[in-house]
Chains A and B, each alone.
Chain A
Amino acid sequence: MKKLFLIFSFLICAFMIVGCKNDVSENTNDSTKNVVDEEKKTDENTDAKEDVKLDFSGRTLNVIATSEKYQKLFDLFTEKTGAKVEFLSMSSGDVLSRIKAEGKPVSDLWFGGGLDAFLSAKESGFLDSYIPKEADKVDERFRDKDGYWIAKGLTVVGLLVNEEMLKEKGLEVPKTLEEIKDPKYKDLVIMSTPEVSGTMFAFVKGILDKYGEEEGYKYLEELNNNIPFYGKRGKDPQEKTVAGEFAIGIIPIDKSAFDAAKEYNLTAIYPEDGIAWVPEGVAVFKDAPGSDMAKAFIDFMLLDENQELLAELDGKDGNQMIKQGVSGYKLGLDKNLLIDEKIEEFGSKRDEILNRFKEITKDK
């Protein structure tokens, strides 16, 4: 009888511990709600003092980031403000579907992702607006005028070329976008599908903005003939070009591309006739328990030294950062080559462009 009781109580404890785990996280969420309300009241006072020491100790900032590599930046934020940072990698489409399905934000801060998803979220009312303190130092193209999103940097599109493979086939190395649609490169080109990859969507949009719609879709049709299938993941083209499966990968170019090129004897190229680009969005979720911390993070991110760190973590050339004067890595990006893109259309024309693209590429 005693033994039975012991076993039973152990199991009840086990259940309680499991239950408690959630209670703890829910409790902190409740307490943060209270703090947010209080902070709202004291906001008017703190606005006057510029140098307020932020203290978020005991609280957790939840972040959706595009990758795990931002640990260092988040650690610095923790050092400065005492807030613990938990982050999760999720694709932008996933984020949207989770908010719609669960009726609540997945996190406090959305750090990086396809701009089209940010525009869609803005329209659906999922985002909070915030004009950061140093907004005037950021180029207009790289932030939302109403403050719903701001860029953390630009992703630019370039080519990763396997020169050996091309030499074996007697082909020259392409240096421009115009060249890669040439039929001599048939079956040697790979890119990810723009449905999944925000960068490739920017590439498609960049082509349409560069050549105009008619010519642009014609270009895509011709390029399609050189591509046997479209990668279903963002990193597919880089992986597969490195593995020697393809000779020309259309990829987001950053330091990791240059590093992979060096390690595996490939060449990373900025196309000389125009570079497609897309801002990587950062936004705060509406009604998130830690939205005050998220806003503080945006200010934190815009500080010069953190912009440098961000450039280092992302492997970006200084010209890919949104603030003037950040040096970053010297990768040779000429910012005058950036295609003149209509960023607002990233949201409004997304469905139209993707449908047209699907027609052209018929189940590849």
Chain B
Amino acid sequence: MKRRLLYLDRIIIISVFFVIFLFILFPIIQSFYFTFIEEKDAFKVFSDLIVEHKKTIYNSILLACLTGIVSSIMSVFVGLSLSFSKGIYYRFLKAVMFIAMISPPFVMSLTYINLFGRNGFITKEILNLSFNPYGLMGVLIIQSLSYVPLSSLMIENACYNLNRDVIDASFDLGKSFFQTLRKIVLPLLWPSIKIVFILNFMKSISDFSTPQIIGGKFQTLASESYLYMVTEGSLLKACILNIIIFLPCIFIFYFYKKYNDSIPTNNYNKMSDLKMSGNVLRFVKTIGFVITFVILLEYLSLVLEAFTKGRIRDLNFTLEFFVESHMYLRYSFLRSIIYSLFASFISVFLSSVYVYAKRTINSAFIKKFDYISMLPFAIPGTFFGISYIYAFRSYPFYLTGTATIIIMNMLFKQFPLSVSSLEDGVNRMDMNLFDAVLDTGRDRIYILKDVIVPLNLRYIFLGFVNTFIKSMTTVGSIMFLVYPGTKLATITLFDVINSGKYHVGSVIALYIILFCTVISLICKYIFNRLEKKDE
């Protein structure tokens, strides 16, 4: 009996590690192999492309740096506002950020034109400016605004982890809010700010849709790589450009891991009860509010786009787009939901076993393997999709055209986040509990079943919801993997927007947002009920 369980434990762990390797590292290896080794003159094509795209490379890196900086600054403002607010205002800010985290692709760029274009609602009607929204500025603004929700929640979390004693001491000594902020809070937040910068840098450099829609003359490696697929039908060139994006990401990723491991996660101190005042505080809260309001406006504009017709001056309410959208969503919406659910459930299983293995087995191999499991953070979406084509188009892993390849792709793109989320929880656990299980004479695998999973349900649910939402809204990676029989809602959205059916696109986006919100609320409810049962 004991032996059986021992083998079970080993078999499960080995299979999980194999699956992780197969769906994360193997595709990358295959892409490099087919791009550089199989293809003759590969290095010549590579160097020619680099020379041809010198400007594009410069654009990508410049944009990524600027977006990283601007979004970090914005997130600090909003994150601080969140931690210093309470009551209804706090709930308002938090609600906007949560809904804004579900951002279906493309729609933000389009609402941006509606609001800030030459004839935009804000620029023309309210401010009466004639503003050219295209180019670097536009892309920078849109990207930064879309990264603020997640980043500001990260900053808020970091604030809760600050050592309250030091902050209290500072106020007790009579220091003003500004001085405390400058000398204590910001320096303590600095590692998290660096993390936010890195994450947003990587997101920006991988973004292909925003420069396409509002870049105008300003194009990046990601948008150009997509164009190569569409115009020349050259998978090779698209892959090479993606590899060029991948390289700085890998480099930066190393720093990400270093900083992330040094962030404390054990405290939880609310800051909203501190008695603070002063102009600086008011300034921070105002900016935080303005940013939140602009984000809210984008979503309201989406609702307007979905249910009205005509110019801003004389809008007509209509349900025709709502009705029309059903024709487009017929099969693809349900399919998106099913695939995302599969991805989320399997992800929960895989990440739990992975974290369990990491924590209970002391092995250098497993520590090195961590880099592989975290790798999807650094891989641009389009590259991840293209590499799956290279990896799974022939035996023994013939998966192109199937549902599996899409589900696995969605799952593993989010794998690092599921793992980090669960690790967050496991880090807070008392390690003695692990020993306790072994002390009672049971096998190691019961640590997974009786300790890790039950005590970290909150983090497992978080991982589940996050994977679900990201899977529902992903487009870059699965774009190259879909077949007529596996079409998803975001692909439909992409097509509808490309056909100029703006209004219908807004309805589809709203459907996606609504459904993701519903699932999050359901999970929250289930989780709360489970917690109550324990009490």
B-binding residues in A (CB < 8 A): 3-4, 7-8, 11, 14-15, 18-19, 21-22, 25-26, 60, 62-64, 67-69, 71, 86-89, 91-98, 100-104, 106-107, 117, 120, 195-196, 228-229, 232-235, 238-239, 243-245, 256, 260, 263-264, 363-364
Inter-chain contact A243/B449, CB cutoff 8 Å: no
CA distance A256 to B389 in the complex (A): 36
Evaluate whether A232 and B345 lie within 8 angstroms (CB atoms) in the complex, with A62-B485, A243-B117 already known: no
Which residues of chain A are within 8 angstroms of B235 by Cβ–Cβ distance? Answer: 97, 100-101
B396 at the interface (CB under 8 A from A): no
Inter-chain contact A244/B118, CB cutoff 8 Å: yes
Which residues of chain A are within 8 angstroms of B407 by Cβ–Cβ distance? Answer: 18
Flag B96-132 by CB within 8 Å of A: 1 or 0 each.
Answer: 0000000000000000011001110000000000000
Which residues of chain B are within 8 angstroms of A102 by Cβ–Cβ distance? Answer: 389, 393, 400-401
Evaluate whether A94 and B229 lie within 8 angstroms (CB atoms) in the complex, with A18-B404, A228-B216, A229-B134 already known: yes
B217 at the interface (CB under 8 A from A): yes
Closest 4 A/B residue pairs (Cβ): A96-B233, A244-B119, A89-B495, A235-B500
> Taking CB as reference atom, which chain A residue is nearest B329?
A68
What is the minimal beta-carbon distance from A176 to any residue of chain B, in angstroms?
A: 25
CA distance A102 to B390 in the complex (A): 8
Inter-chain contact B404/A93, CB cutoff 8 Å: no
Which residues of chain A are within 8 angstroms of B230 by Cβ–Cβ distance? Answer: 91, 93-94, 196
CA distance A103 to B235 in the complex (A): 13
**Could you name 25 residue pairs across A and B whose Cβ atoms are closer than 8 Å?**
A3-B449, A14-B342, A22-B403, A22-B404, A25-B401, A25-B485, A26-B402, A68-B327, A68-B328, A68-B496, A71-B327, A86-B487, A88-B487, A88-B491, A104-B400, A195-B227, A195-B231, A196-B230, A235-B497, A238-B500, A243-B119, A244-B119, A245-B133, A263-B309, A363-B55
> Taking CB as reference atom, which chain B residue is nearest A351?
B232
Flag B487-502 by CB within 8 Å of A: 1 or 0 each.
Answer: 1000110111111101
CA distance A270 to B218 in the complex (A): 32
CA distance A256 to B324 in the complex (A): 15
Which residues of chain A are within 8 angstroms of B414 by Cβ–Cβ distance? Answer: none
What is the minimal beta-carbon distance from B209 to any residue of chain A, in angstroms?
A: 10
Inter-chain contact A264/B403, CB cutoff 8 Å: no
Residues of B in contact with A, size category:
35 or more
Which residues of chain B are within 8 angstroms of A244 by Cβ–Cβ distance? Answer: 117-119
Given A86-B484, A264-B311, 7 more pairs with CB closer than 8 A: A8-B8, A11-B349, A67-B495, A86-B487, A120-B233, A232-B223, A239-B113
B515 at the interface (CB under 8 A from A): no
Of the listed residues B113, B134, B495, the one surrounded by the most CB atoms of chain A closer than 10 A to its CB is: B495
Inter-chain contact B119/A245, CB cutoff 8 Å: yes
CA distance A103 to B393 in the complex (A): 8
Evaluate whether A69 and B499 lie within 8 angstroms (CB atoms) in the complex, with A22-B403, A102-B393, A195-B227 already known: yes
Inter-chain contact A364/B117, CB cutoff 8 Å: no
Inter-chain contact A22/B402, CB cutoff 8 Å: yes
Interfacial residues of chain B within 439-490, with CB under 8 A of chain A in the complex: 445, 449, 480, 482-485, 487
> Taking CB as reference atom, which chain B residue is nearest A364?
B217
Inter-chain contact B484/A97, CB cutoff 8 Å: no
CA distance A21 to B118 in the complex (A): 49
> Taking CB as reference atom, which chain B residue is nearest A23?
B402
What is the minimal beta-carbon distance from B20 to any residue of chain A, in angstroms?
A: 15
What is the minimal beta-carbon distance from B150 to any residue of chain A, in angstroms?
A: 27
Inter-chain contact B119/A86, CB cutoff 8 Å: no
Main secondary structure of the interface of A (DSSP, over half): helix
CA distance A256 to B497 in the complex (A): 14
> Taking CB as reference atom, which chain B residue is nearest A232?
B212
Inter-chain contact A363/B310, CB cutoff 8 Å: no
Inter-chain contact A239/B500, CB cutoff 8 Å: yes
Interchain CB contact (< 8 A) of A63 among B484, B494, B499: B484
Of the listed residues A120, A245, A364, the one surrounded by the most CB atoms of chain B closer than 10 A to its CB is: A245
Which residues of chain A are within 8 angstroms of B389 by Cβ–Cβ distance? Answer: 98, 101-102
Inter-chain contact B345/A67, CB cutoff 8 Å: no
Inter-chain contact B498/A234, CB cutoff 8 Å: yes
What is the minimal beta-carbon distance from A107 to any residue of chain B, in angstroms?
A: 5
> Taking CB as reference atom, which chain B residue is nearest A67?
B499
> Taking CB as reference atom, which chain A residue is nearest B502?
A239
Of the listed residues B238, B309, B480, the one surrounded by the most CB atoms of chain A closer than 10 A to its CB is: B480
What is the minimal beta-carbon distance from A288 to any residue of chain B, in angstroms?
A: 11
Inter-chain contact B485/A60, CB cutoff 8 Å: yes
> Taking CB as reference atom, which chain A residue is nearest B343?
A18
> Taking CB as reference atom, which chain B residue is nearest A8?
B8
Which residues of chain A are within 8 angstroms of B342 by Cβ–Cβ distance? Answer: 14, 18
Which residues of chain B are within 8 angstroms of A107 by Cβ–Cβ distance? Answer: 483-484
> Taking CB as reference atom, which chain B residue is nearest A24?
B403
Inter-chain contact B404/A21, CB cutoff 8 Å: yes
Inter-chain contact A88/B484, CB cutoff 8 Å: yes
Interchain CB contact (< 8 A) of A88 among B238, B345, B483: B483
CA distance A289 to B244 in the complex (A): 38
CA distance A294 to B482 in the complex (A): 20
Which residues of chain B are within 8 angstroms of A94 by Cβ–Cβ distance? Answer: 229-230, 233, 480
CA distance A22 to B400 in the complex (A): 10
Inter-chain contact A97/B404, CB cutoff 8 Å: no
What is the minimal beta-carbon distance from B12 to any residue of chain A, in angstroms?
A: 8
CA distance A263 to B134 in the complex (A): 24
Which residues of chain A are within 8 angstroms of B113 by Cβ–Cβ distance? Answer: 239, 243, 245
Which residues of chain B are within 8 angstroms of A26 by Cβ–Cβ distance? Answer: 402
Interfacial residues of chain B within 195-225, with CB under 8 A of chain A in the complex: 212-213, 215-217, 219, 223
What is the minimal beta-carbon distance from A141 to any residue of chain B, in angstroms?
A: 25
B234 at the interface (CB under 8 A from A): yes
Evaluate whether A93 and B232 lie within 8 angstroms (CB atoms) in the complex, with A68-B496, A228-B217, A363-B55 already known: yes
Which residues of chain B are within 8 angstroms of A3 by Cβ–Cβ distance? Answer: 449
Which residues of chain A are within 8 angstroms of B496 by Cβ–Cβ distance? Answer: 68
> Taking CB as reference atom, which chain B residue is nearest A91?
B230
B136 at the interface (CB under 8 A from A): no
CA distance A310 to B339 in the complex (A): 33
B250 at the interface (CB under 8 A from A): no
Of the listed residues A68, A229, A256, the one surrounded by the most CB atoms of chain B closer than 10 A to its CB is: A68
Inter-chain contact B223/A87, CB cutoff 8 Å: no
Evaluate whether A245 and B345 lie within 8 angstroms (CB atoms) in the complex, with A60-B485, A88-B483, A229-B216 already known: no
B268 at the interface (CB under 8 A from A): no
Evaluate whether A21 and B403 lie within 8 angstroms (CB atoms) in the complex, with A87-B484, A233-B212 already known: yes
B190 at the interface (CB under 8 A from A): no
B304 at the interface (CB under 8 A from A): no
What is the minimal beta-carbon distance from A79 to any residue of chain B, in angstroms?
A: 16
Evaluate whether A229 and B217 lie within 8 angstroms (CB atoms) in the complex, with A93-B230, A245-B117 already known: yes
Inter-chain contact B499/A235, CB cutoff 8 Å: yes
What is the minimal beta-carbon distance from A228 to any residue of chain B, in angstroms?
A: 7
Of the listed residues B134, B496, B498, the one surrounded by the most CB atoms of chain A closer than 10 A to its CB is: B498
B184 at the interface (CB under 8 A from A): no
> Taking CB as reference atom, which chain B residue is nearest A28?
B485
CA distance A21 to B339 in the complex (A): 11
B331 at the interface (CB under 8 A from A): yes
CA distance A238 to B328 in the complex (A): 21
CA distance A22 to B402 in the complex (A): 6
B346 at the interface (CB under 8 A from A): yes
Which residues of chain B are within 8 angstroms of A233 by Cβ–Cβ distance? Answer: 212-213, 498
CA distance A256 to B496 in the complex (A): 14
Which residues of chain B are within 8 angstroms of A7 by Cβ–Cβ distance? Answer: 449
What is the minimal beta-carbon distance from A89 to any residue of chain B, in angstroms?
A: 4
Which residues of chain B are within 8 angstroms of A64 by Cβ–Cβ distance? Answer: 484
Which residues of chain A are within 8 angstroms of B492 by Cβ–Cβ distance? Answer: 68, 89
CA distance A96 to B238 in the complex (A): 13
Inter-chain contact A256/B309, CB cutoff 8 Å: no
Flag B131-157 by CB within 8 Å of A: 1 or 0 each.
Answer: 001100000000000000000000000
> Taking CB as reference atom, which chain B residue is nearest A257?
B500
CA distance A233 to B498 in the complex (A): 7
CA distance A63 to B235 in the complex (A): 22
What is the minimal beta-carbon distance from A105 to any residue of chain B, in angstroms?
A: 10
